[in-house]
Each structure stands twice: as structure tokens, then as C-alpha cells.
Amino acid sequence: MISKWKQKFSKFRTQLAIRKICKENEKNNTNALQKNESLENDKIENGEQERLEWSKKIDFLLSIIGFAVDLSNVWRFPYLCYKNGGGVFLIPYTIMLVFGALPLFFLELSVGQFTKCGPITMWNKLCPPMKGIGYCCVLISWYVSFYYNVIIAWTTYYIFKSLTSGDLMPWQHCDNDYNTDNCFSVSQMQAIQCQTNTSHHKNNGVKSSGKVVWFTATAPYFILTILLIRGLFLPGAGEGILYYINPRLEKLLEPSVWVDAAVQVFYSIGVGFGVHLTYASFNKFNNNCYRDCLITACVNSLTSFYSGFVIFTYLGYMANSMNKEIQNVASEGYGLMGGLEAVITGLMDEFRFKKLKREYFTAIVISTSFLGALVNCTQGGGYTMVWFDTYSAGISLLCSAMFEALAVVYFYGSDRFSGDIQSMLGYPPSRYWVLSWKYISPIFLMCVIVLSIINSERLSYYNYDYPIWSAVLGWAFTLSSVSAVPIYALIWWIRKVNAKRNVNSNCVDLKEISERTAITKSNNSPVYV
């Protein structure tokens, strides 16, 4: 009988022990899940979640080269040489590259690779009040997309018609069905196609972009070479090349030449858009971004110089055909840049749309860009193109780059940033880079911005002078992106003050309670709090 009760008691104790162990395991699992969830939320907030990486190092290099080497090299650089004294323009261009754009280009690649975040979220790690710089970059890239793909649409249309229209091109006469006062240009369909192509290869992020750039970054060099060979056999090509390489040194005394060189360097390299920063965020931590920076800058500059020979062979031919001087053949040029990857990745990293896939969000961004581009597909689209080109990414781009340099070097700390680079590359940046980040590049940018504002003239396109209200609207358009920096800093400061005020009020309440409790104890009478 006693042994039977002992067995029951032993069995009962065993069950209690099992229940206790189960409860402890359940409690530990719950705590672990809560801890993991908290860590995951912290990672999401700071942009440290698992991130896609480039399949190969060459994919990243071709991507930043493909972004840096674009229509601004083929179109705008030769135009600026043509406008500012031919080969002498290379002197201010090289100086501005070495002391202005190149240090900031290296800074962008380093920050993006170290933080592994988009252009907005990265400021959570560097300097939270300066997160407005990220919004500024995103807005600039978005604004440029309103007109950049329209230029690509023009080229698509010209290529298609050149191959299908025979000897008579449709732009050689005014008998087309769409040549009426109330019609829209047929370039709308090409704009849709360009936006669709952009959406297709942006959906899958860097995995898709890394494959696309193998063609988009290399094909232009084959095309430029073919065009150069063909142009060299045209009458007047030699005169065009001589005009290109013949320096007119007196142009160096004009401030506008230096301003044009500075703006072109930033247009060409692509600093300030946040695109290079975004691409670098998909790198491995120890990738040699210093080497990538130098290679990209050299390829970009050589491409610009090479494109000048191509363009000026045809300018010489046009001047010969029209019996004009070369300097009177063309009179306008666009500055072109584009990159929606900064917009898409920046917003996706910052807001973490849990119920919205990247494909759908990409489609939304592309659709808004397409709607904004429609105004440039009208018969007056050439005039709106010049307006967008002037006010979307001119001074605002320089301001964006300057704010980046000041925030990283002075708020985050140049010594701290140099240590971050050393942890990635194995060696610290040289004194040239540090001095450029701290003094040379910011001062250089401030001077260029001031000169740009002082030398700004009333906008015109051929013989048309834009009305005053368009200039007012244009400066408001420029400030809409730049103002994101002080506005966000002000919002952050107000939140900080309110949070501190709430903490202080809570401390006062606790102090009052403790004092009243002490009085109660001394008087031996109850006090209700």
C-alpha cells in the first residue's frame, strides 16, 4: 500500500517537473521571439536588414559607369566645349573634377558601401537631423525623370524612322498627320516604351540591373566608334575637329566658363543624385570602392573627350553644308541625368511598405514619372524641356552635394569617417581626400553656387524669352528639393524638444510626489496623490 502511494507521489512530482520545464521553455521561447522581433525592428529602422548584393564586382562597376557615362557626355560636354573655347574647356573641367567632383564621388561610394542603406535611411546611422539630404536627392532624381526618358524617346523614334522611312524622313516636311495646332507629338508612345523598359529592369533591383548594364554600358562605345569612322569621311570633318582641339585661352578669363565646367562635372559624374550611393549600398563590405571611383572617373572623362571628336566631325560637316561658321551651327544644349534607382530604393528602405511588393512600388514610381513627362511630349515640349533642365537639377544638385560633404565631415566626423573607410579597405584615406572633404570641395561648391546665382540670366530658347512667372515658378521648383534639408532638420529639432519637455515634466511630477510623501510622513496624515 505504501509503495503504491510512493509510486503515485513520484509520478505526480514527475508531472509537476515536466510542467515546470515546459513553462520555462515556453517563457524562454517567448522572450527569444520578442528579442528577435525587437532586433529585427531595430534593423529595419536602421536599414540593416538582409540586403541583396551584386552578383559580381564587375556588375557594380559597369552600373556606376553606365550611370556616369550617359547623354551628358555625348551631348552636353561637346556642346560646352563648342560654347566655351574648344579644347581650353578641358582645363577648368579637369581642375573641377580633381578638387570638386572626384572627392565627393569617393565619399558617396564609401558612405553607401559602409551603411548599406538607401540615400534616406543611411542618415539614421550618420546624422539623423540631416535626413532631409536624402529626401533632397530623391526629389532631384524624380524631377529629372520627368524629361530624361523623353530624350531617350526621341532617339528611339529617330532610329526607328531612319530605318523604315526610306530617303525622306518625317521631320523633313510638315505634311504629317500630327502637324496640326491641336495635336500631341507621337513621342508619347516612345515615352511609354522607355518607362516600361525602365520599370522592367528596376523591378528586381540590382540582380536585374547588373545584367542589363553589360549591354547598356558597352554598346555606346561601339556606336560612337562607328559614327566617328563614318563622320571622318564627310566634307568639313577636319575643320570641325580642329575647332574642337584648338584652345582659345582668352575664354579662361570668363567666370561662366568655370561655372559651366563645375556644373558639367557634377552632371557627368552624377554626384548629388544619390544613385551612386544607392548602388554602393549593394556592395560587399570590403569592396575596393576607391579603385572603382578612380576607374569610373577616368572612363567618364575619356568618354567625354572621345565623344567630342564624334560630335565635331558632324558639326564641321553641317557648317560646310550650310556655308556657315562652326560657331554658328548650333545654339542650345541640354544637361541630362537620370536615375530612378535612388528614388525606388531610397523610399523602399525608409518606409518599408510591408504589403507593397517592389514590383508594384516600382510601377507606381514609373507611372508618376510618365505622367510628369507627358507635358514634354506636346508641341511645346521643347520649351518645357529647357525649363525642366534648368531648374530640376542645376543649383539644387550642387546644394545636395555640398550638404552631403558638410554633414558627413563635420557632423559625423572626418576622423570617424576615415576610420570607417579603413575598416572597409584596410588603409585610411590620404590627406588629399580628407582636406578635399573638409575644405576644398565645400568652398569650391559654395563659390560655384554663388556664381551661378549671380550670373543667372532670363531663360530663353532660341528666339523665345520665357516670361517672368516661369522663372519664379522655376526657382520655387528648385527650392522644393533643397528646402527638404532645413525643413526636416527643423521637424527633428521640434520633436527632440517636445520629447525632452515630456521627460522633464515627468521628472517634476515624480519630484512633487516624493516631496508630498515626505510631508505626509512628517505630519502622520494621509495625502492622496
Helix (H) or strand (E) holding 25: helix 2-46
> Residue 485 in contact with residue 130, Cβ under 8 Å?
yes
Q: Is 463 annotated as a binding residue?
A: no
Write the pLDDT tens digit of every residue in 101-136: 899 999 999 998 998 888 888 888 888 999 999 999
Q: Are strands 464-465 and 460-461 parallel, antiparallel or unpaired?
A: antiparallel
393's CB contacts (< 8 A; 6+ apart) are 140, 143, 144, 267, 273, 335, 337
- Backbone angles phi and psi of 464, in degrees to 5: -105, 125
Write the pLDDT tens digit of every residue in 3-59: 655 565 566 566 666 666 656 656 555 554 454 444 444 444 444 456 677 777 887
Query: Rounded to whole angstroms, how far apart are CA atoms 389 and 411?
Result: 32
In this predicted structure, what is the pLDDT of residue 519?
46
- Of 371, 401, 370, 375, the closest CA to residue 388 belongs to 375
- Of 98, 135, 125, 142, the closest CA to residue 403 belongs to 135
Torsion sign across C-alpha atoms 172, 173, 174, 178: negative
Helix (H) or strand (E) holding 464: strand 464-465
In this predicted structure, what is the pLDDT of residue 344?
72
Q: Which residues of the chain have pLDDT under 70?
A: 1-51, 165-217, 326-342, 353-355, 358, 503-529
Q: Is 68 annotated as a binding residue?
A: yes
> Residue 321 in contact with residue 236, Cβ under 8 Å?
yes
**Secondary structure (3-state) at 357:** coil
> Residue 203 in contact with residue 362, Cβ under 8 Å?
yes
Query: Rounded to whole angstroms, how far apart are CA atoms 234 and 320?
Result: 10
How does DSSP classify residue 121? T
Burial 254-278, CB ≥16 within 10 A → b, else e? eeebbbbbbbbbbbbbbbbbbbbbb
Q: Is 73 annotated as a binding residue?
A: yes
Other C-beta atoms closer than 10 Å to the C-beta of 162 total 10
Between the CA atoms of 109, 115, 119 and 121, what dihedral angle is there, to the nearest 10 degrees? 180
3-state secondary structure 489-517: HHHHHHHHHHHHHHHHHHHHHHHHHHHHH
- Of 39, 48, 112, the closest CA to residue 420 belongs to 112
In this predicted structure, what is the pLDDT of residue 434?
92
Q: Is 498 annotated as a binding residue?
A: no
Looking at the DSSP assignment, which residues form a beta bridge with residue 460?
A: 465
- Backbone angles phi and psi of 517, in degrees to 5: -65, -40
The count of residues in the chain is 529
**Which parts of 338-440 fold into alpha helices (H)?**
341-351, 358-373, 381-391, 395-406, 414-425, 431-435
> Residue 124 in contact with residue 47, Cβ under 8 Å?
yes
> Residue 350 in contact with residue 402, Cβ under 8 Å?
no
- How many helices and strands in the chain, by DSSP H and E? 24, 2
- Of 55, 73, 67, 71, the closest CA to residue 109 belongs to 67
Other C-beta atoms closer than 10 Å to the C-beta of 440 total 16
In this predicted structure, what is the pLDDT of residue 109?
92
In this predicted structure, what is the pLDDT of residue 484?
92
What single letter denotes the amino acid at residue 500? K
What single letter denotes the amino acid at residue 121? T
Query: Rounded to whole angstroms, how far apart are CA atoms 415 and 408?
Result: 10
Query: Rounded to whole angstroms, how far apart are CA atoms 52 and 371?
Result: 30
Q: Is 150 annotated as a binding residue?
A: no
Q: Is 69 annotated as a binding residue?
A: yes
